[in-house]
Amino acid sequence: MKQLLRSILFIMLTLISAHSYAKLQGQARIDSLLKELPQQKEDTNKVKLLVELSGCYKTISPDEGIKYDQLSLELATKLGWKKGIAATYNTWGIIMVPSPMNQKRWSIVLRP
């Protein structure tokens, strides 16, 4: 019984530390992408960067992810880049699925 409790405690601590490490990696990636953002020209590479930023925020801060998706959608539409528009809607969908059905979020996605 004592061995079982030790095993369970070990597994729980391992999972918690792994989750914390993954979150730090995610934040480090976000920081790196945010540093690149001001240097980008208004082209398809900036759309890709914004979509990637959005994807990084999906578990950390979904609302922040949606903000970057809005920016990428505006730029992709301005450029007439259909793949960028599709990539934006894809990340929006990924962010929206685990989120509660929030009226504000869905109104952004489903706007005419």
- Domain holding 97, by residue range, is 2-109
**88: Cβ–Cβ under 8 A, 6 or more apart, which residues?**
47, 50, 51, 54, 69, 72, 73, 76
Q: In whole angstroms, what is the distance from residue 43 CA to residue 45 CA?
A: 5
H or E element, residue 66: helix 62-79
Q: What is the pLDDT along the chain (112 residues), one digit of tens a residue?
A: 767 666 676 676 665 655 544 454 678 889 999 999 999 999 999 999 999 999 998 888 888 998 999 999 999 999 999 999 999 999 988 887 765 555 555 565 565 5
Nearest to 88 by CA among 69, 62, 110: 69
Number of domains in the chain: 1
**48: Cβ–Cβ under 8 A, 6 or more apart, which residues?**
84, 87
What is the reported pLDDT for 21? Answer: 46
Q: In whole angstroms, what is the distance from residue 84 CA to residue 75 CA?
A: 9
Give the CATH number for residue 41: 1.25.40
